[in-house]
Amino acid sequence: MSTAIKPKHQRLVLVLVALTALIGAALLAAWALRNQASYFYLPTQMASDPPEQGRAVRLGGMVETGSITKQADGVTIAFVVGDGKARVPVRFRGITPDLFKEGSGVVAEGRIGSDGIFVADNLLAKHDEKYVPREMKDMSEAQARQAVKNTK
């Protein structure tokens, strides 16, 4: 009597080993990236369930009118991001995007500081769907299409 494994069973064992290796690799990758994920919070979520201090997150909302103030050093600004229900104070040191202004949408990437202020490392300004680059503002639709064709 032979104790050799049948080819049918060899394939099944091979498939199970490959599947186990794939699941293991996926779990290992997920575990390695667990602290690298940057979660997105709205001001209401930030106020009700703030992330732990020092965790990299994104805060999205509208820059409240009248809230932008420049600090004495000239490169740090403070402003408030709101969503109509909650407000989060933000501090950013650096050059702001051209589209960053009061009343506009913003996504701030950073961390909650020990003082409760969101310290942004990066700002992403959002524009509305009617955005037109400065260079194309005074062009007609036909001229704009022609300018786009000429850049290709």
Give the model's confidence band at 94: pLDDT under 50 very low, under 70 low, under 90 confident, else very high.
Answer: very high
Whether the Cβ atoms of residue 78 and residue 89 lie closer than 8 Å to each other: yes
pLDDT (tens digit per residue) in 48-90: 888 888 888 999 999 999 999 999 998 999 999 999 899 999 9
Q: pLDDT at residue 135 above 70?
A: no
Give the model's confidence band at 27: pLDDT under 50 very low, under 70 low, under 90 confident, else very high.
Answer: very high
- In the structure, how many helices (H) and strands (E) does the chain have? 3, 7
Let me know if domain 39-125 sits in CATH 2.40.30.30.
Answer: no
pTM value > 0.75: no
144: left (phi over 0), alpha (psi -120 to 50) or beta: alpha
Rounded to 5°, the CA angle 98-104-131 comes to 65
Whether the Cβ atoms of residue 15 and residue 56 lie closer than 8 Å to each other: no
Give the model's confidence band at 6: pLDDT under 50 very low, under 70 low, under 90 confident, else very high.
Answer: confident
Looking from the CA of 116 toward its CB, the CA atoms found within 13 Å total: 8
Whether the Cβ atoms of residue 113 and residue 87 lie closer than 8 Å to each other: no
The mean-pLDDT minimum among 7-11, 63-67, 90-94, 138-142 falls in 138-142
Q: pLDDT at residue 127 above 60?
A: yes
Question: Domains of the chain: which residue ranges?
Answer: 39-125
CA distances 9 to 12, 16, 19, 21, 37, Å, are: 5, 11, 15, 18, 41
Select the more confidently predicted residue: 37 or 7. 7
Structure tokens, 34: 């667990």
What's the CA gap between 128 and 105, in Å, rounded?
9
pLDDT of residue 98: 84
